[in-house]
A = this chain, B = another copy of it.
Amino acid sequence: MDFDHYYSNIDIFDLKTPFFKIMNTQLALKDIVKAKSRIDGVINETPVITSSLLNAWLGHTIYFKAEGFQKIGAFKARGASNTIAWLIENDLTPKHIVANSSGNHAQAVAWAAKRFNIPATIYMPAYASKVKIQATKAYGAEVILCQTRQEADALVKQTSEEKSIYWIPPYNHEQVICGQGTAAFEAIKAIGSVEAVFAPCGGGGLLSGSLIAAKGLSKTTQVIGAEPLMGNDAAESLRKNTIQHLTEAPKTLADGAMTLAVGDITFEYLKQLDGFYEITEEAIIYWTQWLTHLLKLRIEPTSALSMEAAFQWLQKQQQKQTVVIILSGANIDQETTKKIWENDCLTTEPYKR
């Protein structure tokens, strides 16, 4: 398939190279810096915000990197645009770009392809929300609706066997990872230094990129992940030291973390995390409401994962900490919003929980 053709390190993984060899090619801060300069002026340098009330309540300083203000409303724009810019930089500009996704990655690839004037086709399962299908079309991509996710996956693979067509996968790709890592990089640069970085885990792209950026800037910075307890394949994979696959999409409200399995590339980075939390749906609802209320932003439930992880981690700390939470994005449909706001969590302040 053509994806291999363009992919610099694919041989290593095709040959099932042992871990030490992967370590040799491990991405480093310089790769994040390159990605950052590649996408400067293409993506938004999103604001870092804080809530003095929340800080006072919790006794720590929490910064939020608001990726809801990113192009397409989620961090995914970083990885997609970095990958295309990197292809162009290496004289590998494809004639056509394809992707398969039911969510933010679909929109990110549609937007980035248009930004670089390359036609794009996105294979989406028909069950994807109307709003997301609509947005993907609005960014100018051709959308092909498939009966199932499996059909979308098969079609994108088949299509990308054509040499001139490039498939941008959602997370298991070094340039996607480096792009996503620019969010943590920008945030830490803006803040100065932090004791810990928190990010949610779907396929592990954002978390891998955050790890490379944060550890590259300071080895003592902890990088901590979070995923829904209802879809805890990454936690299980880390416990068993081998990638675990869910058999069907978990029914979590955190739809950005529904991925069935992490990738072989991202898994190697996830193993290096300082902590990993499995978050209940109750906590996802609680923090989606509270972060919306305190920060005055549209907050997608996936963003609440890292807040609950930070909340639990901060409670164990003896000294005042400064941390950054990557808010993944702000794309939610009406149905999910309705579920989030069914009951009132705002009557119980975080310090009373």
Let me know if A344 and B335 touch, CB within 8 A: yes
Main SS class of interface, A: helix
Cβ-based interface call for A346 (8 A): yes
Contact of A345 among B289, B297, B334, B346 (CB under 8 A): B334
Q: How far is the CA of A342 from the CA of B222 in the complex (A)?
A: 41
Residues of the B chain whose Cβ atoms lie less than 8 Å from the Cβ of A297: 296-298
Residues of the B chain whose Cβ atoms lie less than 8 Å from the Cβ of A342: 338
Chain B interface: which of A94-102, A130-138, A179-187?
A130-138
Let me know if B338 and A341 touch, CB within 8 A: yes
Identical copies in the complex? 2
Cβ-based interface call for A73 (8 A): yes
Let me know if A296 and B334 touch, CB within 8 A: no
Let me know if B69 and A296 touch, CB within 8 A: yes
Let me know if B330 and A296 touch, CB within 8 A: yes
Q: How far is the CA of A297 from the CA of B53 in the complex (A)?
A: 19
Q: How far is the CA of A296 from the CA of B130 in the complex (A)?
A: 18
User: Can you list, as one digit per residue, whether each of A119-156 has a CB less than 8 Å from chain B (1) or not (0)?
Assistant: 00000000000110010001000000000000000000
Q: How far is the CA of A341 from the CA of B336 in the complex (A)?
A: 9
Let me know if B131 and A346 touch, CB within 8 A: yes
Residues of the B chain whose Cβ atoms lie less than 8 Å from the Cβ of A131: 293, 346-347
Let me know if A349 and B134 touch, CB within 8 A: yes
Residues of the B chain whose Cβ atoms lie less than 8 Å from the Cβ of A242: none
Cβ-based interface call for A319 (8 A): no
**What is the CB-to-nearest-CB distance from A287 to chain B, in angstroms, rounded to a whole number?**
14
Cβ-based interface call for A24 (8 A): no
Let me know if A346 and B334 touch, CB within 8 A: yes
Q: How far is the CA of A234 from the CA of B111 in the complex (A)?
A: 44
Known: A295-B298, A297-B298, A337-B341. 15 other contacts (CB 8 A): A53-B138, A68-B296, A73-B296, A130-B346, A130-B347, A131-B347, A134-B349, A296-B298, A296-B330, A297-B297, A298-B298, A334-B346, A338-B341, A338-B342, A341-B341
Interface residues of A (CB under 8 A from B): 53, 68-69, 73, 130-131, 134, 138, 289, 292-293, 295-298, 330, 333-335, 337-338, 341-347, 349
